[in-house]
Each structure stands twice: as C-alpha cells, then as structure tokens.
Structure 1
Amino acid sequence: MGEAPAQATGNPVASNVELRINARFDAAHLRNSPPPYPQASRRRGEEGLVILRVRVGANGRANEIEIAESSGHERLDRAARSAVANWRFEPARDGEHAIESWVRVPVAFRLERS
C-alpha cells in the first residue's frame, strides 16, 4: 500500500522571520496631548491639517521633526511641531529590538462652530 503523507511540524519559514513593527504615537497609554490652538489663529479663524515627518529614536523620543505638509498657516505649523516635540512614541521594532524610524503624524486644527 502507499505511504502515509508526510506531516509538517511547525512552520520553519515563519520561525526565522523577524517582524518589523512601525513606530506609533496613538496608543492611549502614551498620553500625548493635542497642541494648544494658537489664540491668534483662533481669532483669525485659521484651520488646517499639518502633516509632520518625525524621526523617532529607539527611546521613543522625537529626534527630528520636519513639516511634510503645511496647514497653510505658519502659527499652526509651529504649534504642531512644538507639541509633537514633547510627545512620547512607541518606537519601531525589528523583532524584539527597538529601532529608530520615521513616522508621519497628522495634526488637525479645527474650530468648533456653534
């Protein structure tokens, strides 16, 4: 009679693969406060979305911040950059090791209408 089919044990391919996980800023335990709305911008009705490009160190701190996309208002861009400079991040991981990486951080400024 024929031989029984071979049975795989484990997954040898997956066991050698290290997972890379991107840096994060949105985890609730990080307690990152939104930037304060600049009063001059509030009075002038300035709104916008700032996209920051942040180099996050293995220690979870912002090592470098660039404006990837401006809100169109310098005050809002500065406020976003200043706030994110003090944020904590979950650093990227290569397997179990924290590594430096870049992450895009959107910061929205919207006035409430009553």
Structure 2
Amino acid sequence: MPAPLPEKAPVPEEVEQAPQEEAPALEEPESAAGTGAMGAVVAGLVNSAAKEGVGTGLGVASGGEAVDVKQVSRPPTVLQQVLPQYPRPARSQGIEGLVLVRIIIGIDGRVEPESLRIIRSVPELDAAALAAVRQWRFSPALGRHGRLVRVIVDIPVQFSLK
C-alpha cells in the first residue's frame, strides 16, 4: 500500500535559511525500520511530489535562485539516498513519525547544506533525518528553458518501528 503524501507545508513569505547545525552523534545507530521499502517509498514521494505539485509554493526567482519543483520541465530524481539511522533513545521510547525536510538541490545534483530546513518536526528524530538527507544525490532539475536549475523540494522521512 503506497504511503500517503505529506500535507502541504505552510508557505513562508520569504525563504528562510536555517542556521547550519552539526547533527549530534547518535548512539549505536540502527537503521530506520522498513529500510528496503522506505527507500522506494521516499524516492517515489520525491518524484510524485513533483508530479502532484507538492512543494514549497515559492515562485520562480531570477538570477540562478532556486525554483519550485512544479516549475521545472524535468524534476530531479533520486540517484543515491542514505537511509536515516533510528536514534537509540527514540527507538527505546517508541517514538515514530514523519519529519519533513525542505532542501535545495543544486545544479550539480547535491543538496545545498545551508538550505536544509525542518518543515514538520519530530524533535527526537530531526537530527537523524537531516543527517541522512544531507547526503542524498539527485539528477539535476532542468528548467523550462533547457538549462539546469536549482530546485526546492520537500523530502518526507518516515520513521516507523513496525
């Protein structure tokens, strides 16, 4: 059964850049449950989000600024993803949930580290989601004029103990 798409996040008037944080070291990391299926689900959600219009709602900005995923002719696709490591304290407390991470994918297909921003938080899981998504690699997005563009994408990271 396919996972439902996350609800559209509220749109800020301006793009805020969260201060860059170092992810805290996780004690004896364990992979998030359902890692095999999770990879396919997350990759599908990124591509599905582009098709369904789930994104930031931010308009096109000129001068090489990032555009919304809905405004590109070819959205990015996941080439390499790092699955999150379930933090041991969260696992032992039975904490589950969805962390929604907003990123900007550069024209080289890499996540721009300063762009990472939590849109939907589960505080005990946020650092693990950020640490994983920071390492993802994508095919670059192609703009409507045939040029590579920076693109804003929301990545849902589901943590489940089942």
TM-score, structure 1 length as denominator? 0.70
Alignment of 1:27-106 (within 5 A): 30-63=79-112, 64-71=115-122, 74-94=123-143, 95-106=145-156
Q: Provide Cα deviations, 1:47-83, integer angstroms capped at 9, x if missing partner.
A: 0001111111001111111111113xx2311100111
Q: Provide Cα deviations, 1:86-108, integer angstroms capped at 9, x if missing partner.
A: 11012211154221010010000
Give secondary structure in 1 for the equivalent of 2:139: coil
Gaps of 5+ in 2: 1-71
Aligned length: 88
73, 82, 86: which one pairs with 1:20? 73
Matched residues in 2 for 1:87 and 1:108: separation?
16
Matching residue's letter, 2:151: S
Give secondary structure in 2 for the equivalent of 1:50: strand
> What displacement does 1:23 show?
2.5
Contact residue 82 and residue 135 of structure 2 kept, 8 A: no
Higher relative contact order (CA 8 A, sep 6+): 1
Contact residue 100 and residue 157 of structure 2 kept, 8 A: yes
Gaps of 5+ in 1: 1-18
Contact residue 23 and residue 103 of structure 1 kept, 8 A: no
1:110–1:77 distance in 2 versus 1, CA, 3 Å: same
TM-score, structure 2 length as denominator? 0.51
Whose strand fraction is larger, Structure 1's or Structure 2's? Answer: 1
Percent of aligned pairs with the same amino acid: 36
Give secondary structure in 2 for the equivalent of 1:62: coil
Radius of gyration: which is bigger?
1
Matching residue's letter, 1:66: R
Contact residue 50 and residue 67 of structure 1 kept, 8 A: yes
Matched residues in 2 for 1:31 and 1:99: separation?
19
